[in-house]
Amino acid sequence: MTAPRRAAVLGSPIAHSLSPVLHRAAYAELGLRDWSYDRFEIDEAALPGFFEQLGPEWAGLSLTMPLKRAVIPLLDQISETAASVEAVNTVVFTEDGRRVGDNTDIPGMVAALRERGIEQVGTAAILGAGATASSALAALARICTGEVVAYVRSEARAAEMRQWGERLDVEIRTAHWADAAEALRFPLVVATTPAGTTDALGSAVPERPATLFDVLYDPWPTELAARWSAYGGAVVSGLDLLVHQAVLQVERMTGRTPAPLDAMRKAGEHALADRRAH
């Protein structure tokens, strides 16, 4: 019999994380009965201590805010993808005891778009300029052949996005949030802002919108996503992103491919439906 293996998601706050639901669904589907996946409320200060007490049964960790950057000094190696945005959301513990960091958000975004038939776009718009926006920019570096326009609230944020563009080799232009309605006419719009931020843009959705990737999943749909769908536009949700990045995490941690995308998505949908019902 194989030794039990452990994995978990760390972050703060963590109570609402769907990662345990997704990973456990994958283990069930893959027949990994001796695998467990938990969640731990851990902030930056507690992170080094948590790492120190991990035993050989640990296979990997998922990391959410505020740990994606704080974890880097604790690792032996990070992937080029993670280094490109200075953010690690996945740690895999190798058989020889090394801690390897990766970022599955970026390929997860690309995979979620590909699932909807979007392999390449000429131009794209990003709403917002936080940590998720830099991951979105890294994903667009892989699929966008022309200019990306980021709509932001402050010059400091605009400067940050221009720096990311330079670093990721993306042709980027920044525009003020007051003009964000213009973004909705692009062939691909990636909304990376907190809940409620884009609600006022609902009335500006064009008659024939193209594709909206809204990284939120609860509450869902957002006002913008609901209006977008009503006009017949394609919508990729935050749950799509969450599932696709979790698929990649499961594959890296367990060594089993492919991870069961459909079972994981269904588990996520059921968990969100339960949450809304209560």
Q: How far from the centroid of its chain's Cα atoms is residue 123's Cα?
A: 21
Q: Judge whether 266 counts as a catalytic residue.
A: no
CA separation for the pair 52, 169 (Å, rounded) = 37
pTM, two decimal places: 0.95
pLDDT in tens, 40-88: 999 999 999 999 999 999 999 999 999 999 999 999 999 999 999 999 9
Backbone angles phi, psi at 206, to 5 degrees: -70, 165
Q: How many C-beta atoms lie closer than 10 Å to residue 123's C-beta?
A: 16
End-to-end CA distance of the chain: 40
Residue 166 burial by Cβ neighbours in a 10 Å radius (0-12, 13-18, 19+):
exposed
Inter-axis angle of helices 261-277 and 19-30, nearest 10: 140
| Per-residue pLDDT, 219 | 87
- Beta strands in the chain, from DSSP E residues, in sequence order: 5-11, 35-41, 58-63, 77-78, 90-93, 99-102, 124-127, 148-152, 172-176, 188-191, 211-214, 234-236
Six-digit token string for 7: 């994995």
CA separation for the pair 87, 79 (Å, rounded) = 10
| Unique residue bearing structure tokens 């038939």 | 117
Widest distance between CA atoms in the chain: 61
Six-digit token string for 82: 């993670």
| Unique residue bearing structure tokens 């998720």 | 132
Considering 5, 24, 39, 68, which one is annotated as catalytic? Answer: 68
Low-confidence ranges of the chain (pLDDT < 70): 1-2
CA separation for the pair 252, 192 (Å, rounded) = 26
CA separation for the pair 90, 64 (Å, rounded) = 9
| Per-residue pLDDT, 276 | 87
| Per-residue pLDDT, 2 | 66
